[in-house]
Structure 1
Amino acid sequence: MNETDMSDELIEAGRKLFAGDWQFLAAAPSIPTLPPMQGIEIALAGRSNVGKSSLVNALTGRKALARTSVTPGRTQELIFFRLGPQLTLVDMPGYGFAKAPKDKVDAWTELVHAFLRGRANLARVFVLIDSRHGLKPIDTDMLDGLDRAACSYAIVLTKADQLRPPALAERIAETEAALIRRPAAFPTVFATSSREGTGIADLRAAVVRLMAERGAS
């Protein structure tokens, strides 16, 4: 999706929204430690080291709101960042390879699935996919779980600046084709680069539109 696909009004509303006072809210290692539900929540899912923390920082315009690391599996809890009462971003533990014991990785995985099943104010999950590699079996397993849970999700291709435009267009097309028969998938694929800022305005605008659809102010 290009920024021209979103109206100027939505783009500007997204800029204003995400320029607000974002604060770290909580790091929840278990379901009982989750913060109370308030407003709507947007969660970021993806393989370890796909760029979730970098995307949180790019969306909010903050250099270090979310901790980034080159070590896969650094995020070991559900990390909540809140913008007043209306919107919360949730950085979820990465799935797939992680430099951590298997029992701990299994615990993170169960935490994520329990969160997705039981969080009533979760409006959408953005599933991050490295644009250089596309959907892998471990990603489709995640999408299968979201479909079974009837949890609305959209695909966000990260690191789009590392592909030439023709290759990126091909990756977007093949990803959209893979979503056609998935009942919980949002049909549009977002291509982003946290480093270059590509697609960030669109993603912000999409959140604004989603909030309007959910009746959040």
Structure 2
Amino acid sequence: MSTPGARTLPAGGLLEARDEAERAALVEAGRRLFARPCRFFFAAQRLDQLPPPRGPEVAFCGRSNVGKSSLVNALTGQATLARVSNTPGRTRQLNFFEIEGPPGEGRLVLVDMPGYGYAQAPKDIKADWQGLMFDFLRGRPSLRRVLLLLDARIETKPSDRAVMDLLDRAAVAFQIVLTKADAVRSAALARRVREAETLARSHTAGHPLVIVTSSRSGEGIETLRAELAALAGPAPG
């Protein structure tokens, strides 16, 4: 994403920022990107329902009730953009949200994926979710990265590890984002971050930078916006 005369952003995001000026440029790009309107434009329950690519995509993936919709809302500054539910397993489709940009500016599509790991969901629905998720991941050329959300308050679950293996097999880069950090004491949070970093390094598709967030307090939202700004790009020709 660029504007005339603007500093070129590091393609690798915050990890490739060489100095504070480049980091500040990414933060400002993230602020500008997510200051634009973001709108829901499509929902798909099957692979043959997927919309044509409209720009680079970032998918939000995680256990049911990990806070995917809340994080989408916090990033975009729109409290009701993505539906937030207290009932785990309610999201049963891929929901697409678009941040459009004027000519010369980048755009980004956010994809809220079905939650996984909810034991009370019917087995046939869980199988459909997993099948749709894997098929989407491995067959979507516009998908730049998956944000794998893990609850900072609890240990990594077997289902989380299984999804990391699935992402390795699909050859899709994923980045761990810890959610609900406001509910964790600093020492416990530091241990959780170290665990997540170790997990990321143990997977071929894992991104080494772990981002800590809280949709309630706003912690990490600016950082995540900056990271995603490096993935934004032009619409397909």
1:41–1:90 Cα contact (<8 Å) kept: yes
Alignment match, 2:164: 143
Return the offset for 1:134.
Answer: 3.1
Evaluate the alpha carbon distance shift between residue 110 and residue 27 of structure 1 in structure 2; reply closer, same or farther with a 3 A threshold.
same
2:98–2:109 Cα contact (<8 Å) kept: yes
Query: Which whole-Å CA distance do the structure 2 matches of 1:180 and 1:120 have between them?
Result: 24
2:122 matched to 1:101?
Answer: yes
TM-score, with structure 2 as normaliser = 0.85
Query: Which whole-Å CA distance do the structure 2 matches of 1:135 and 1:122 have between them?
Result: 25
1:42–1:123 Cα contact (<8 Å) kept: yes
Alignment match, 1:161: 182
User: Which of structures 1 and 2 has the bigger CA Rg?
Assistant: 2
TM-score, with structure 1 as normaliser = 0.93
Choose from 96, 99, 104 the match for 1:80: 96
1:54–1:194 Cα contact (<8 Å) kept: yes
Alignment match, 2:192: 171
2:201–2:207 Cα contact (<8 Å) kept: no
Alignment match, 2:143: 122
The root-mean-square deviation of aligned C-alpha atoms, in Å, is 1.8
Point out where structure 1 has 5 or more consecutive residues left out of the alignment. none
Choose from 44, 48, 56 the match for 1:32: 48
2:134 matched to 1:113?
Answer: yes
2:226 matched to 1:205?
Answer: yes
Q: Secondary structure at the match of 2:80?
A: coil
Query: Which whole-Å CA distance do the structure 1 matches of 2:121 and 2:169 have between them?
Result: 28
- Code of the aligned partner of 1:66: A
Point out where structure 2 has 5 or more consecutive residues left out of the alignment. 1-13, 102-106
Deviations 1:83-122 (A, max 9, x none): 1272100000000115432212211211111100100010
